[in-house]
Structure 1
Amino acid sequence: MTIRNLQYLFSPASVAVIGASQKEHSVGATVLNNLVEAGFHGRIFPVNPKYDSLRGLKTYASVGSLPVVPELAVICTPPASVPGLIAELGAKGTRAAIVLTAGLSLHPDGQALSIKQMMLDAAKPHLLRILGPNCVGLLVPGIGLNASFAHTGALPGKLAFVSQSGALVTGVLEWAKTRGIGFSKFISLGDNADVDFADVLDYLAGDANTYAILMYVEDIKHARKFMSAARAAARSKPVLVVKAGRAAEGAKAAASHTGALAGSDAVYDAAIRRAGMLRVFTTEDLFGAVETLAHAKSMNGERLTILTNGGGPGVMATDALIFGQGKLAAMPAPVIAQLDEVLPSTWSHGNPVDIIGDAPAERYVKALEILLKNPESDAVLFIQAPTAIVPSLDIASAIVPLLKETSRNVISCWLGSNASAPARQLFSNAGIPTYDTPEEAVRGFMQIVQYRRNQHLLMQVPPSLAVDFVPDRERARAVAAAALAEGRNILSEPEAKIMLAAYGIPVVETRIARSAEQAVQFAQEIGFPVALKVLSPEISHKTEVGGVVLDLETAEAVGKAAQSIQQRLSELRPDATLQGYSVQSMARRPDAQELIVGVTTDAVFGPVILFGQGGIAVEVIDDNTIGLPPLNMVLARDMISRTRVAKLLAGYRDRPAADVDAVCRALIRISQLVSDIAEIAELDINPLLADAKGVLALDARIRVVVADKEAGVDRLAIRPYPAELEQLVDWQGQALLLRPIRPEDGEAHVDFFHAMLPEDIRLRMFIRMRELQPDQLARFTQIDYDRDMAFIATRKRDDGRDETLGVVRAMADPGNEKVEFAVTVRSDLKGKGLGSILMAKLVEYCRARGIQEIVGEALSENVGVLNLVKRVGFEVKPVPGEAVMALRLDLRGEKLA
């Protein structure tokens, strides 16, 4: 649904406890006791016909007898009673309920609908929001709300915790309370029949009382909704995730290597990364990471300097860093020279920087002053082992002022317990992340690194491709349609290569031979050497039946190879049908790396893309990574960088580096292929050869299924660029293209900004700005097309690049019912009708999406925009007490109150 009415869930003025009781250890009694003991700020109404009063509160016999409409209801009654209670509450005016009851998946008396569905049907007419069922409840300590049956309460704080597991809820509450960790919201989702992760993320993203969101996730039901909400929330505050179920559930039967390799946990990992969130693997790491990120400063690189007063801890930290895929900072000669002047001659002369165990506080300060200015370092890990020579607190007191002033990230590790406790507390009070062991400290640093990487993927403005690419979609669709019309799900290798070629993937010349004689003929026409491969719909992996013979140099060799393939097939797979052979030109690329690029369809997130090291042993090598389409150059390059084969692609010894851009383009085109062709369920290119000359697909396998073409992009977890919204219009006698903005428009958008007069920028932004900051540019150009829209008017410049002339934006609420708009035209083009064209495009789009209302604001002096929106039909009203006009357009065809 949306965040509609969630304010009554998280900030109610009154609560009714339906099923309240005085029976010891019952859910009804526990909830009522928790509400009273927590000191809820609002009114509490127990509901139970068996009692006149409970906990000193007047108790009511039924919902109907309540004297006022409760803003929130907590239901603790048996399953069969829940739908009726929801209907009664909705009719009375209640708009939020927590259903603690379990067992609602049952179908009473053989009815078609489950109790859960009856409950949802009862709530729908009233837009009554339901948390649960089968949940522990909800705690909002800031208002004294403990609407749960947890055994303990929560301290107030700024963290929101959201969990699917009820058992984990109670455990984390206990764990956090003993450590003094507080919460803004503590939410048990249970079966999340209505309110789910996406709804909660949307609400918490705008909650001023929450600075970070922590989640325990077991499964996601609505991937597109979740990804949109997660990406929006991660733009505004840290979102950290523990995902349960990491262990592989066993190899899956699949028609492709990709289908077998792409386990569900890897897909969730890719989704979390793409959404700009951070994944951790234990509950303790979850809270440790949020404290680290809360104090983390901006960091452009990932190079760590380790400063220690003991060699052992430094070595331990180095091992943890290297095995965690981290980077040690280099120590340039000038830095070493500076350190030589302040450190004893026995210091380590490298990184880790061991300043020797007898170091006084002054030595720490001088060393840190030098290291914090090292241009080859991005962060410092400070490790101190307690000694009898200098108290740890003296060292901490000396260096805290320096660390407060630095722009670099500093992470600390105070070894020991009692002796280091005061120093550790002093650092914590100063906002410096502090850990007990070198390994924990390095893990904290790597969490900052990974979070920054994920945020970069979320906020990046990628470069445009070198050339425009237009695929032959109809040709690819025809191949899939022909196979399905014949009742086949597996394309032949030549068919698969036709589809790849239609999307610009280089393939070797391939011909289909129906007999050994025809294979010889085609080999002679192609030219030797050739490769011969079995063609059989029952055979997915040809090498398993000896169905691939390479480097055939003569016609005689081709004939013998065909006979051998036929014989091996009949012996090993007598059930398989030999349809012929594929004859291919033999690719001679000795420096090439064998890669795999594939697609499979995840049950939750839809199509996902796999990249890694290819070859016949691809499952054994297990060097691969997963990404979610759509992709661009930055996202494709990130996928490549997360594999071991990336180092081979970079070149080594006398082998030149591969054309990584060509590999990226192949990934992007496969992403486009799966976005366009809904019939593709699985795809393998294995191997995809990559060398300095580019890429070449040697073998390909594609499985297709009957699909609903109209809902093609709905399969994707992230909505791709909506090309169908592009429109050519005539303006001032020239053709303009109106289209949704793309990340690749970043450079043109900067030029557009610089072409604006300062006064026009002030009228648009309400503030004076000289430059667009990178994060602002990313927000403007990288949008979630499921929620927001920005149409630009663009034309080609003389140098062939796109030029942005104007932009109109619509930022939707999570329910896609109301959008806030803004429109800007380049300063030198104002008054020529371009704003009207853009506004008409936006209104047409909003009507098509079912948007009910378009709203906005403009300064009272912005006469141009005010006249423009009046012509479109907007209501324009002054905002009391401000020099601002409120703008509204009702798309329902009726005046708004």
Structure 2
Amino acid sequence: MTIRNLQHLFQPRSIAVIGASARPHSVGATVYANVLEGGFNGTIFAVNPKYDTLAGRPVHRDIDSLPQAPDLAVICTPAATVPGLVARLGARGTRAVIVLSAGLDAPGPDGTSLRQAALDAARPHLLRILGPNCLGLLVPGIGLNASFAPSGALPGRLAFVSQSGALVTTVLDWAHARGIGFSTFVSLGDGSDVDAGDVLDYLAGDPGTDAILLYVEGVRQARKFMSAARSAARAKPTLIVKAGRHAEAAHAAFSHTGALAGADLVVDAALRRAGMLRVLTTEELFDAVAVLARPRPLHGPRLAIVTNGGGAGVMATDALVAGGGTLAPLSAATIAALSAVLPATWSHGNPVDIIGDAPPERYRDALAVLQAAPEVDAILLLHAPTAIVPSAAIASHVLPLLRSAARPVLTAWLGGDSVAPARRLCLEAGLPVFDTPEAAVQGFLQLVQYRRNQELLMQVPAPLAGAAADRAAARAIVAGLLARGCLKVGEADGKALLAAYGIPAARTAVAATMEEALAAAAAIGYPVAVKLLSPDITHKSDVGGVVLDVEDAAALRAALADIGRRVARARPDARIDGYTVQQMVHRPGAVELIVGSTTDPVFGPVVLFGQGGVAVEVMADQAVALPPLNRVLAADLVSRTRVAKLLAGYRDRPAADLDALCDALVRIGQMAADLPELAELDVNPLLADSRGVIALDARLRLAPVAAGTDPLDRLAILPYPDALESTVAWDGASLVIRPIRPEDGPAHQAFFAALSAEDIHFRLFAQVRELSPAQLARFTQIDYAREMAFIASRVDAAGRAETVGVARVVGDPDNVTGEFAVTIRSDIKGRGLGRLLMTHLIDYCRARGLAELVGTVLPDNVRMLALGQALGFQATRQDDVVLLRLRL
């Protein structure tokens, strides 16, 4: 389940407290008091056979004696009673329950855990359970405090969702002291039914929520969580604190990749891919709340600092540079404008030190100049108290200007009681307020990182170079290896797999004997590299099993003899299967990299990139990403490593061919997604320079997949579904109908440009001349787990693929209803393409299990209305639109 019946949880019209009590400090007494005192204007029931009245209100003996089924029930009774209460509430018609009780892992009378018994009791009624073992729920906007939190929450537009009840109470206290309000406060507890993904889906569509903050300790259903997170992050700022950064288990991995791709790196990659912002500490969490609760759009990373003390400005600058931020370079025009309103002794640069004796007018004038400066993206106001002007007077003077600021303005009032009134004034005005320069800079850097994550969702990648992957050949290689029982695969077969995906690799041959090695070297051509081939030795160089630059046959004989002696001393127990003979690649100045894939137990396949070579684990310079990748995502993966600076070129070293490197990473991601048996892949080193990339070594580990297993189940993000591609004859030509891809961005922009103003109005209900980057990304970078867009593509006279039509559907999180739209290029309408695409879409939706398709059409869109009627849609007039509905 996802958001089914969650409206009864978050917007109930009536509530029952099961186990309401008068016993001081009990959960039942606290919850009932909170419900009564919260100001909830719906119907409130109390249920407990021990009382006739509580707080002057009647108490019902049991659920059956309630005059009506409550929308929401809060269970405060012992764990053993929960399954029966859930069953009874479901039968009465209640559709949402909050279970505060702990201890539901204990077995019930039939041996099933109480938790599972409660879920089984809820399922026939589609009743949703929040908890168990949770603190409860607060929805301040409707006065709902269905929790045993020690205090309520102020109404606002920030949602907070937590797997930790203790953190809920901490944030409540902190936010109340700072005047920060919330739309929703949710304690998930054990999340047996309603989990973080469900709540994200609900809050993404909640008009009362502007930003979402999550605290999670673990993710169980990666695909569901990622789909919900991507949907929420596209709609509104979404922050997450993921606890347990150092909880990953140390284990012996077959490859460097498996050892380096720690669990927390994978979590970080997943959250980045979802467009969320991760914060790491409680302090950062509070800073993030302060910024997100009062959002202003951030258009770039350049920060201007205004201060009345040079020391504070230096501290802020140090924190900004250390955090990878950018100090706004003030233009000559901005410096001249500041010089006109500041004394001659001002700093004449950024930070803008306006001198300690600054009166309120000087603050206002400096801030006004910086707000008008195009090179400034955000402003930080630092103030240290002085005896000359009260801090509150300064705050009062600048607030009218700052309230109307179009860019983020952060404030840090340094000190204690003397600056408290200024802090309060800024909080009341909706400005982020911090206690130290470092905390303020951290808040700004969080905004910058969030913006970068969002930009990744809006980039349109270029298509890959080279031939498409030969998936059939790759699957044949894997099948052959499995048939031979070969699970730990050496470089020769590993390079064959790379070749199937178009990744350049050095020519390699396997030789069982010295004579075969000599023959292989002659075929490849000297000089060669020769390496030991042993299933028992992971890192060949550690035992002297590698010899480079072998110039001729005599040198090869000597090298093999030396390898044999060294291995006999170091590992006399090791099995020796022979040798690999490899083309000796001379790429002076090339950077040694590691690329590969491994499998995370929660998020499935991940792609790793970093600095390679024999010291790869010592350098520990790596980043990971979830497949599938495109060039934009691959470039971001590279940018998150230190070795990226070497790849950019330096002194007389030209930059590496980053397009070739990104293409290789994309293809590694394809391999990881395509081959469910691929448990680990290690390409180390992959050489990269201005000529491109080439793999010198490749090893992999396979793991058989159980029969009947869906190979896509292990993927957190569904890859492009190429099985849905088809070629049809239309209008005397060949037409490809296929799912849309991010790389279709330019063709989709051209398609939109070819639409008439009337067709754009029919599609968007507005007049738009061209798609913005965000709109283009939203149309082309879709989540195939939630939506589908089929495009009709043909080759134009210049040999380029052009989009001539698109039909799309966005399913609800419950996979019940899909909202559709279809658009045909204006100059080819009336030739049956709309019917062709819609038939394709309807067949897909039926196969996916959707119950119905709905679409909103303007009454004067007669072509679409006629097409809907021909396809069996029912038309209903609603206000100024027509609703088309088709039961599937």
Alignment TM-score, normalising by the size of structure 2 = 0.96
Alpha-carbon RMSD: 2.2
1:447 corresponds to 2:446 = yes
| Counterpart for residue 8 of structure 2 | 8
- What is the alpha-carbon distance in structure 2 between the residues aligned to residue 515 and residue 669 of structure 1? 34
Would you say the 8 A contact 1:631–1:668 is kept in 2?
Answer: yes
- What is the alpha-carbon distance in structure 2 between the residues aligned to residue 528 and residue 412 of structure 1? 67
Distance change (3 Å), C-alpha of 1:169 and 1:356: closer
| Counterpart for residue 735 of structure 1 | 734
**Residue type at the aligned position of 1:601:** T
| Counterpart for residue 73 of structure 1 | 73
Would you say the 8 A contact 2:460–2:777 is kept in 1?
Answer: no
Matches within 5 A, 1:78-117: 78-108=78-108, 111=111, 113-117=112-116
| Counterpart for residue 889 of structure 1 | 886
What are the superposed Cα offsets for residues 287-320 of structure 1, whole Å, 9 maximum, x if unpaired? 4323323544433431223333322112111111
Would you say the 8 A contact 1:600–1:607 is kept in 2?
Answer: yes
| Counterpart for residue 634 of structure 2 | 636
- What is the alpha-carbon distance in structure 2 between the residues aligned to residue 845 and residue 161 of structure 1? 37
1:649 corresponds to 2:631 = no
Distance change (3 Å), C-alpha of 1:404 and 1:157: closer
3-state SS of the aligned residue for 2:629? coil
**Residue type at the aligned position of 2:151:** T
Would you say the 8 A contact 1:566–1:578 is kept in 2?
Answer: no
- What is the alpha-carbon distance in structure 2 between the residues aligned to residue 672 and residue 283 of structure 1? 37
- What is the alpha-carbon distance in structure 1 between the residues aligned to residue 724 and residue 489 of structure 2? 32
Distance change (3 Å), C-alpha of 1:338 and 1:53: closer
Give 1:719 shift: 1.1
Distance change (3 Å), C-alpha of 1:591 and 1:375: farther
**Residue type at the aligned position of 1:61:** R
Give 1:696 shift: 0.8
Distance change (3 Å), C-alpha of 1:526 and 1:382: same
- What is the alpha-carbon distance in structure 1 between the residues aligned to residue 395 and residue 645 of structure 2? 41
| Counterpart for residue 64 of structure 2 | 64
- What is the alpha-carbon distance in structure 1 between the residues aligned to residue 721 and residue 837 of structure 2? 17
Q: What are the ranges of 5 or more consecutive residues in structure 2 without an aligned counterpart?
A: none
Out of 162-171 and 237-246, give the one that drifted further: 162-171
- What is the alpha-carbon distance in structure 2 between the residues aligned to residue 463 and residue 153 of structure 1? 47
**Residue type at the aligned position of 1:825:** I
| Counterpart for residue 840 of structure 2 | 841
- What is the alpha-carbon distance in structure 2 between the residues aligned to residue 332 and residue 84 of structure 1? 71
What are the superposed Cα offsets for residues 593-614 of structure 1, whole Å, 9 maximum, x if unpaired? 1111121111111111111111
- What is the alpha-carbon distance in structure 1 between the residues aligned to residue 223 and residue 56 of structure 2? 48
Matches within 5 A, 1:338-737: 339=338, 343-404=342-403, 406-458=405-457, 460-465=458-463, 467=465, 469-707=467-705, 711-737=710-736
Out of 427-436 and 764-773, give the one that drifted further: 427-436
Q: What are the ranges of 5 or more consecutive residues in structure 1 without an aligned counterpart?
A: 892-897
- What is the alpha-carbon distance in structure 1 between the residues aligned to residue 490 and residue 628 of structure 2? 26
Out of 776-785 and 23-32, give the one that drifted further: 23-32
What are the superposed Cα offsets for residues 702-748 of structure 1, whole Å, 9 maximum, x if unpaired? 11111258622221111111111111111111111111111112211
- What is the alpha-carbon distance in structure 1 between the residues aligned to residue 380 and residue 144 of structure 2? 41
What are the superposed Cα offsets for residues 322-370 of structure 1, whole Å, 9 maximum, x if unpaired? 1101122334455545555555554434433334333444544554455
Distance change (3 Å), C-alpha of 1:432 and 1:170: closer
Would you say the 8 A contact 1:296–1:448 is kept in 2?
Answer: no
3-state SS of the aligned residue for 1:192? coil
Aligned length: 887
Give 1:396 shift: 4.1
**Residue type at the aligned position of 1:210:** T
Would you say the 8 A contact 1:598–1:610 is kept in 2?
Answer: yes
- What is the alpha-carbon distance in structure 1 between the residues aligned to residue 741 and residue 735 of structure 2? 16
- What is the alpha-carbon distance in structure 2 between the residues aligned to residue 195 and residue 5 of structure 1? 11
| Counterpart for residue 183 of structure 2 | 184
| Counterpart for residue 242 of structure 2 | 243
| Counterpart for residue 193 of structure 2 | 194
| Counterpart for residue 206 of structure 2 | 207
- What is the alpha-carbon distance in structure 2 between the residues aligned to residue 660 and residue 357 of structure 1? 49
- What is the alpha-carbon distance in structure 1 between the residues aligned to residue 420 and residue 22 of structure 2? 46
Would you say the 8 A contact 1:248–1:263 is kept in 2?
Answer: no
Out of 10-19 and 253-262, give the one that drifted further: 10-19
- What is the alpha-carbon distance in structure 1 between the residues aligned to residue 296 and residue 125 of structure 2? 46
Give 1:72 shift: 1.7
Out of 394-403 and 223-232, give the one that drifted further: 394-403
- What is the alpha-carbon distance in structure 2 between the residues aligned to residue 598 and residue 519 of structure 1? 28
| Counterpart for residue 168 of structure 2 | 169
What are the superposed Cα offsets for residues 94-142 of structure 1, whole Å, 9 maximum, x if unpaired? 111112222222334673x322222212211111111111212222223
- What is the alpha-carbon distance in structure 2 between the residues aligned to residue 376 and residue 567 of structure 1? 66
Would you say the 8 A contact 1:594–1:689 is kept in 2?
Answer: yes
Out of 731-740 and 431-440, give the one that drifted further: 431-440
- What is the alpha-carbon distance in structure 2 between the residues aligned to residue 20 and residue 360 of structure 1? 58
Percent of counterpart pairs with the same letter? 62
- What is the alpha-carbon distance in structure 2 between the residues aligned to residue 366 and residue 45 of structure 1? 58
Give 1:157 shift: 2.5
- What is the alpha-carbon distance in structure 1 between the residues aligned to residue 883 and residue 704 of structure 2? 49
| Counterpart for residue 747 of structure 1 | 746
Give 1:645 shift: 0.8
Give 1:843 shift: 0.4
Alignment TM-score, normalising by the size of structure 1 = 0.95
What are the superposed Cα offsets for residues 636-666 of structure 1, whole Å, 9 maximum, x if unpaired? 1111111111111111111111111111111
Distance change (3 Å), C-alpha of 1:53 and 1:356: closer
- What is the alpha-carbon distance in structure 1 between the residues aligned to residue 426 and residue 799 of structure 2? 56
Distance change (3 Å), C-alpha of 1:395 and 1:214: same
Out of 98-107 and 363-372, give the one that drifted further: 363-372
Distance change (3 Å), C-alpha of 1:539 and 1:109: farther
Would you say the 8 A contact 1:681–1:703 is kept in 2?
Answer: yes
- What is the alpha-carbon distance in structure 2 between the residues aligned to residue 310 and residue 28 of structure 1? 54
Give 1:791 shift: 1.0
**Residue type at the aligned position of 1:17:** V
- What is the alpha-carbon distance in structure 2 between the residues aligned to residue 574 and residue 591 of structure 1? 37
**Residue type at the aligned position of 1:173:** L
3-state SS of the aligned residue for 1:571? helix
- What is the alpha-carbon distance in structure 2 between the residues aligned to residue 536 and residue 294 of structure 1? 59
Distance change (3 Å), C-alpha of 1:406 and 1:41: closer
Would you say the 8 A contact 1:461–1:744 is kept in 2?
Answer: no
- What is the alpha-carbon distance in structure 2 between the residues aligned to residue 243 and residue 382 of structure 1? 31
What are the superposed Cα offsets for residues 186-220 of structure 1, whole Å, 9 maximum, x if unpaired? 11111111110111111111112222211110001
Distance change (3 Å), C-alpha of 1:366 and 1:129: closer
**Residue type at the aligned position of 1:828:** D
| Counterpart for residue 31 of structure 1 | 31
**Residue type at the aligned position of 2:884:** L
Distance change (3 Å), C-alpha of 1:574 and 1:50: farther
- What is the alpha-carbon distance in structure 2 between the residues aligned to residue 16 and residue 87 of structure 1? 15
- What is the alpha-carbon distance in structure 2 between the residues aligned to residue 205 and residue 52 of structure 1? 42
Distance change (3 Å), C-alpha of 1:104 and 1:428: closer
3-state SS of the aligned residue for 2:701? strand
Would you say the 8 A contact 1:738–1:792 is kept in 2?
Answer: yes
Would you say the 8 A contact 2:248–2:264 is kept in 1?
Answer: no
3-state SS of the aligned residue for 1:105? coil
Give 1:375 shift: 4.6
| Counterpart for residue 275 of structure 2 | 276
**Residue type at the aligned position of 2:49:** P
- What is the alpha-carbon distance in structure 1 between the residues aligned to residue 733 and residue 106 of structure 2? 64
What are the superposed Cα offsets for residues 662-703 of structure 1, whole Å, 9 maximum, x if unpaired? 111111010111111111111111111110001111111211
Would you say the 8 A contact 1:362–1:398 is kept in 2?
Answer: yes
Give 1:173 shift: 2.8
